[in-house]
Amino acid sequence: MAKRWYGNVVNRIEEGRTIPEIKEGTDITMYYWSDRTCYYVTKVVDQKHIEVKQYNVVADHSKELGRGHQEWLYFKTRKEMADYMKQYYPNNEYNTDEPDPETWVYRYNHWNRAYTYTKEDLDEKDIMGLPMRGHFNEKEIEKLENGGTITRYYKLDNGISFGRRDYYYDWEF
């Protein structure tokens, strides 16, 4: 006799989903329309709170068709990448300042980027050049000005694969 399902199919599928065990150093691939970017885990707070950094990816210049033909080298630091690139372009200058890791949190069945805002962020500008102060209501501004913090979560809409490092850049766009 066949097993009977109760409830909707989506809920039954979600019941079987589990978060993979994540360890420090785990590779992550994030999928976009046709491109893919790669990250690695720098810290595991718990299985639903991790810190990640994006790989610095460059074409493999040592191979004949390395530039632009999906032959990639992955570097964890900008300094490593700069040292490699200086072999081929010694006169170029490279930014070796390391960005802070991103915090990802698993909430509501998907991964989110977590941003924590402080009083100093009120005086900063957003990517459109507008004051960040406009992104908060009066109660939040008061909390920030009194030394508090506000954490906001932004859904990572793209597909994510853990344990996989598969960078791809679509040259046709």
For the chain, give every domain's residue range: 23-113+157-162
List, for residues 57-92, the tens digit of each pLDDT value.
Answer: 988 888 776 555 568 899 999 999 999 999 999 999
Task: Note the pLDDT of residue 65.
Answer: 63
Of the candidates 18, 57, 21, the residue with the CA atom closest to the CA atom of residue 39: 57
Torsional sign, CA 139, 148, 154, 108: negative
Q: In whole numbers, what is the pLDDT of the chain averaged over residues?
A: 85
Note the pTM of the prediction, 2 decimals. 0.77
Task: Please determine, for residue 8, whether its predicted confidence score (pLDDT) is greater than 60.
Answer: no
